[in-house]
Amino acid sequence: MATGILIICSFTVNAQNSASAKMDNFINSLMKKMTLDEKIGQLNLVTPGGAVTGSVVSKDVDTKIRNGQVGGLFGITGPDKIRRAQEIAVKNSRLHIPLIFGLDVIHGHRTIFPIPLGLSASWDTALIRRSARIAANEATADGLNWVYSPMVDIARDPRWGRIAEGSGEDAFLGSQIAKAMVEGYQENDLSKDTTVMACVKHYALYGAAEAGRDYNTVDMSKLRMYNEYFAPYKAAVDAGVGSVMSSFNTVDGIPASANKFLLTDVLRKQWGFQGLVVSDYTSISEMINHGLGNLQAVSAKALNAGMDMDMVSEGFLTTLKKSLQQGKVTLDKINEACRRVLEAKYKLGLFEDPYRYCNEEREKTELMSDANLQSAREIAARSFVLLKNDNQVLPLKKSGTIALIGPLADNKRNMLGTWSVSGDPQKSITIMQGIKNVAGENVNILYAKGANISDDTAFIKRVNVFGTEIDIDPKSPEELLNEAVETAGKADVVVAVLGEAADMTGESSSMSNIGLQPGQEKLLKALVKTGKPVVLVLMNGRPMTLSWEDEHVSAILDTWFGGTEAGNAVADVLFGNYNPSGKLTASFPRNVGQIPIYYNHLNTGRPYHPGDSPKFKSNYLDVPNTPLYPFGYGLSYTTFSYSDISLSNNVLKPGGKITASVNVTNTGTRKGKETVQLYTRQMVGSIARPVKELKGFQQITLEPGETKKVTFPISVDDLKFYNSDLKYVYEPGDFKIFIGTSSADVKEADFKLE
Ligand code: BGC
């Protein structure tokens, strides 16, 4: 048996070696034919339009492709268009080298899933992998072979609009999700017609921008990088991600796009990454603004640091030759970068068949198929988080009168959320439509808009860059409000759909105030004043400040931006066809002054515990230390109780394993899904260690009254961290283990690591 496995293993290794030798031969012989200009041309990534996120767009794209001055194109879709662009390269450029075609496929392609922050709230890696798989199927049916996802930047600051694009504040959960997404996109085999090359971004630490302002400075200790921010990028690399995108920010004074420590020392040498590194959109030329020199200087710095491909700056295209002549870069470096671009194309099978992703039949049958839409509905429902539910106002009865109120209640334009460049908002299901689809004939639905998303014209202009997401109703705010209050008066229950417009989060969408806009807040207060039970259905791309809401409304369901099928999914949850099971992956602060706020912080020398005398303890005079809703929190229509933790042994020996178990019981009256979370704390260490760190989670579904035992194995590997010498170690001593329903509601036990 063992010999059999050995033979199979060595057969696989041999096959891999021979495949890579074949690739090397092919690329060696191609590169021998290439001129210096053609090699540099491969490093140039251009966009003829699409979602333009900078002030620059590439010019004369066709001519450049003909001249061998383009390695890849992003921002176009459709097998016919992509075929035409590919034909220029393959038929008209001297060496007929095919192009690679990329796009921001972030949370679905045509069928849009919840924004990544919402997806992460499902805590279901198989589900997230499925969303990436469907996205890859659709993207490849639409001509693409490269997606700029997963975005894995850890974010602890909800002012930062791009918190919407990632998996929240925790590196352990973020790593599991990064892996699942890479697997979903690539399926471990780029040569298939249905897989795409993934691109993990934004390397590195982009989510730690000072003051939550986009593109801003990042400065942190190496300890923090290694222990709190790097893991998800590394997990994507370990999962075989084909490419990495550098970030816009500086790290330790050096922009990530020319940061040798990040791009070479950590990424290539420590993590063994062998794929392609691409810059972010003009992040090379932006280093002029960072004060690192002119275009030639910053381009040379980027290449020398380990950058392979230049997105839109054209700094490589226009200056590398001169830099080579002046001895500022080496031919080896150019060759290395060119080889990596060619390898990506080879692995994608583009040299065999440059048109392999241009299949019009697949385009017709696979985009937004019924099956994909069905998955989108299911996945969306799984992303919603029930934040409050007094007196079981939810689920709603399928009878009586509902007042559906709010500027987002019947609003196709904002259902998809940020970075849904290929999604068609007109094909999305609004909450009004969803409720009509699900409620049945016995429910009477009354509607009033109640308020504009915002009334601030300067703000609206800023948000509306991609189209009218916020419009000002012809009726005055007073008229809208009165109408809503009158409508509410006729109903048994009010469902208020409030929150953000799609592009109030995402790139360049930082906010200093993360509560409801004033007009919406006024509306909500007026609705509460009617005395009717008010259910707040929130649409949002970031944790918001909801202290007043939490105190006054009956129920809050956070639905993020749920995607194409969001309306149906919201209705499924509101009426109890699906019992909500999402849990937060980013803390919701009580106010902006608490930011950054995250569960896995260090202790202070003067920790404050509720009940302590607060003076000279670490706290605020005006607000508690705790968030309004903690990491891992989310309610269900049923309730769960946890037994005490039982440990198989309270001594863990290196090389050994102990298990920690709890019994979880469904103590309510409905079937429900619970995410059981495992945290640990190292009580004494060579450096200060976090008060809690997520180390595992499991999902169980329980019938009313049912109990299941949930067991987590723990080994020393789970307890390792980077010490002051940046060595990945474990340290013997006392540990605490916590198991519970959120980071703030746990059972605990103690063990010793020998
Ligand atoms: C964003 C990236 C994106 C790129 C290409 C940039 O502005 O930061 O996330 O992949 O544009 O569209």
- Preceding omega of 477 cis (within 30 degrees of 0): no
- Of 45-49, 55-59, 95-99, 261-265, the range with the lowest mean pLDDT is 55-59
The pLDDT of residue 53: 62
Using CA positions, which residue lies closest to atom 7 of ligand 1? Answer: 53
Pocket test for ligand 1, best of 101, 281, 509 (most atoms within 8 A of CB): 281
Residues 402-444: tens digit of each pLDDT: 999 999 999 999 999 999 999 999 999 999 999 999 999 999 9
Using CA positions, which residue lies closest to atom 10 of ligand 1? Answer: 148
Please give the structure tokens belonging to residue 565.
């099928």
φ and ψ at 483, to 5 degrees? -60, -45
pLDDT at 1 over 50: no
Centre of ligand 1 to C-alpha 708, Å, is: 44
CB of 280 closer than 6 A to ligand 1?
yes
Using CA positions, which residue lies closest to atom 6 of ligand 1? Answer: 281
Centre of ligand 1 to C-alpha 203, Å, is: 12
pLDDT at 123 over 70: yes
- Looking at residue 481, what DSSP letter applies? H
CB of 201 closer than 6 A to ligand 1?
yes
The pLDDT of residue 48: 87
Using CA positions, which residue lies closest to atom 2 of ligand 1? Answer: 280
Centre of ligand 1 to C-alpha 505, Å, is: 14
Strand pairing of 693-702 and 672-682?
Answer: antiparallel
CB of 52 closer than 6 A to ligand 1?
no
Q: Which residues contact 704 (CB under 8 A, 6 or more apart)?
A: 638, 666, 668, 669, 670, 671
Centre of ligand 1 to C-alpha 539, Å, is: 23
- Looking at residue 88, what DSSP letter applies? I
Residues 356-389: tens digit of each pLDDT: 999 999 999 999 999 999 999 999 999 999 999 9
Centre of ligand 1 to C-alpha 443, Å, is: 44
> Looking only at Cα atoms, what is the longest distance across the chain?
80
- Of 50-59, 192-201, 367-376, 541-550, the range with the lowest mean pLDDT is 50-59
Summary mean pLDDT of the chain: 96
Nearest Cα residue to 576 out of 469, 451, 669, 448: 669
The pLDDT of residue 6: 56
Using CA positions, which residue lies closest to atom 11 of ligand 1? Answer: 281
Using CA positions, which residue lies closest to atom 4 of ligand 1? Answer: 281
Nearest Cα residue to 304 out of 285, 332, 278: 332
Residue with tokens 């896995």: 600
375 sits in which H/E element: helix 370-383
The pLDDT of residue 55: 63
Nearest Cα residue to 660 out of 613, 607, 715, 701: 715
CB of 53 closer than 6 A to ligand 1?
yes
CB of 419 closer than 6 A to ligand 1?
no
CB of 148 closer than 6 A to ligand 1?
yes
Percentage of the chain beyond pLDDT 70 is 97
CB of 730 closer than 6 A to ligand 1?
no
The pLDDT of residue 15: 78
Distances 545 to 96, 339, 385, 470, 504 between C-alpha atoms, Å: 55, 49, 15, 21, 15
- Of 36-45, 52-61, 98-107, 534-543, the range with the lowest mean pLDDT is 52-61
Using CA positions, which residue lies closest to atom 8 of ligand 1? Answer: 280
Centre of ligand 1 to C-alpha 297, Å, is: 23
Q: How much is the CA Rg of the chain, to the nearest whole Å?
A: 27
pLDDT at 2 over 80: no
The Cα–Cα gap between 107 and 229 comes to 22
Strand pairing of 733-742 and 745-753?
Answer: antiparallel
CB of 51 closer than 6 A to ligand 1?
yes
State the pLDDT confidence band at 51, using cuts at 50, 70 and 90.
Answer: low
Q: Which atom of ligand 1 is nearest to the CA of 165?
A: 9
pLDDT at 25 over 70: yes
pLDDT at 50 over 80: no
* Residues making up the chain, counted from first to last: 754
633 sits in which H/E element: none
Pocket test for ligand 1, best of 47, 53, 103, 246 (most atoms within 8 A of CB): 53
Q: Which residues contact 239 (CB under 8 A, 6 or more apart)?
A: 178, 179, 182, 183, 186
Q: Which atom of ligand 1 is nearest to the CA of 148?
A: 10
Centre of ligand 1 to C-alpha 340, Å, is: 21
pLDDT at 8 over 60: no
* Whether residue 471 lies in the annotated active site: no
25 sits in which H/E element: helix 2-33
Using CA positions, which residue lies closest to atom 12 of ligand 1? Answer: 104
CB of 508 closer than 6 A to ligand 1?
no
CB of 104 closer than 6 A to ligand 1?
yes
CB of 165 closer than 6 A to ligand 1?
no
The Cα–Cα gap between 596 and 263 comes to 27
φ and ψ at 724, to 5 degrees? -60, -25
Pocket test for ligand 1, best of 148, 200, 466 (most atoms within 8 A of CB): 148
Centre of ligand 1 to C-alpha 197, Å, is: 16
Q: How far is CA 503 from the centre of its chain?
A: 15
Q: What is the dihedral of CA 200, 205, 208, 209, to 10 degrees?
A: -90
Q: Which atom of ligand 1 is nearest to the CA of 245?
A: 10
Please give the structure tokens belonging to residue 380.
């969306």
Using CA positions, which residue lies closest to atom 5 of ligand 1? Answer: 281
Q: How many CB atoms lie within 10 A of CB 523?
A: 28
Q: Which atom of ligand 1 is nearest to the CA of 421?
A: 12
CB of 138 closer than 6 A to ligand 1?
no
Centre of ligand 1 to C-alpha 150, Å, is: 12
Residues 640-679: tens digit of each pLDDT: 999 999 999 999 999 999 999 999 999 999 999 999 999 9
Q: What is the mean pLDDT of residues 614-625?
A: 97
Per DSSP, helices labelled H in 122-269 are 125-141, 171-186, 222-224, 231-238, 260
Centre of ligand 1 to C-alpha 153, Å, is: 13
534 bridge partner residues: 494
The Cα–Cα gap between 84 and 92 comes to 11
CB of 179 closer than 6 A to ligand 1?
no
Q: Which atom of ligand 1 is nearest to the CA of 52?
A: 12
The Cα–Cα gap between 377 and 355 comes to 32
Centre of ligand 1 to C-alpha 507, Å, is: 8
The Cα–Cα gap between 72 and 42 comes to 7
Q: Which residues contact 85 (CB under 8 A, 6 or more apart)?
A: 65, 73, 76, 99, 101
**Which listed residue (157, 280, 558, 572) is catalytic?**
280
Q: Which atom of ligand 1 is nearest to the CA of 53?
A: 7
Vertex 171, ends 170 and 172: CA angle to 5°? Answer: 95
Centre of ligand 1 to C-alpha 470, Å, is: 23
CB of 206 closer than 6 A to ligand 1?
no
Residues 177-219: tens digit of each pLDDT: 999 999 999 999 999 999 999 999 999 999 999 999 999 999 9
The pLDDT of residue 560: 98
CB of 281 closer than 6 A to ligand 1?
yes
State the pLDDT confidence band at 58, using cuts at 50, 70 and 90.
Answer: confident
Nearest Cα residue to 80 out of 3, 142, 147, 170: 142
State the pLDDT confidence band at 11, using cuts at 50, 70 and 90.
Answer: low
Centre of ligand 1 to C-alpha 53, Å, is: 7
